[in-house]
């Protein structure tokens, strides 16, 4: 039988929008678009780099709740409010996912508020970090 786990963090946004921070369906794990609000202080850093690091801390905390980690991420979607911040954000994304190498989408749409400089959504597969991985390089 399929097991579904839905994780909420107590965020007023999750309640208002009726969504879960994370939903796992067996080994597939879907993490909602996540901003850089510190869950303890409720503060959002002004610096885009600090926001990006907080986003990853928030995602990692959610993944840990279902026995997973950033090493299991197979897809990331990175939303950056201002195109000028792309290099800073993607440097941190690159540092975080070095060796994990998920598929990725990066775009610069308007976000829900100008206070959010970056939001990231991920899909993970529990156990991907320890799977037999074959890496190939092709030319397109």
Kindly report, residue by residue over 60-81, the tens digit of the pLDDT. Answer: 999 999 999 999 999 999 999 9
Strand locations in 90-129 (E): 103-107, 118-125
pLDDT at site 118 = 98
109, 48 contact by CB (below 8 A): no
Kindly report, residue by residue over 84-104, the tens digit of the pLDDT. Answer: 999 999 999 999 999 999 999
pTM for the structure as a whole: 0.93
Listed by start position, the domains of the chain span 4-130
Residue 28 corresponds to which tokens in the numbers above? 């597939």
17, 91, 96, 111 from 114: Cα distances, Å = 19, 21, 24, 7
Q: Is 1 exposed, middle or buried (0-12, 13-18, 19+ CB in 10 A)?
A: exposed
Place of tokens 């801390």: 57
CA distance 19 to 2: 20
41 φ/ψ angles, rounded to the nearest 5 degrees = -95, -15
Domain with residues 4-130, CATH architecture = 2-Layer Sandwich (3.30)
């Amino acid at each position: 039988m399929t097991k579904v786990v839905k994780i909420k963090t107590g965020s007023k946004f999750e309640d208002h929008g009726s969504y879960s921070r994370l939903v796992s369906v067996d080994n597939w794990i879907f993490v909602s678009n996540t901003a850089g609000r510190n869950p303890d202080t409720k503060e959002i850093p002004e610096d885009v780099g600090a926001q990006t690091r907080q986003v990853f801390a928030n995602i990692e905390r959610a993944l840990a709740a279902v026995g997973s980690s950033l090493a299991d991420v197979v897809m990331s979607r990175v939303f950056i409010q201002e195109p000028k911040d792309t290099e800073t954000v993607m440097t941190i994304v690159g540092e975080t996912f070095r060796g994990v190498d998920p598929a990725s989408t990066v775009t610069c749409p308007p976000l829900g508020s100008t206070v959010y400089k970056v939001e990231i959504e991920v899909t993970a597969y529990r156990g991907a970090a320890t799977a037999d991985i074959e890496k190939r390089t092709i030319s397109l």
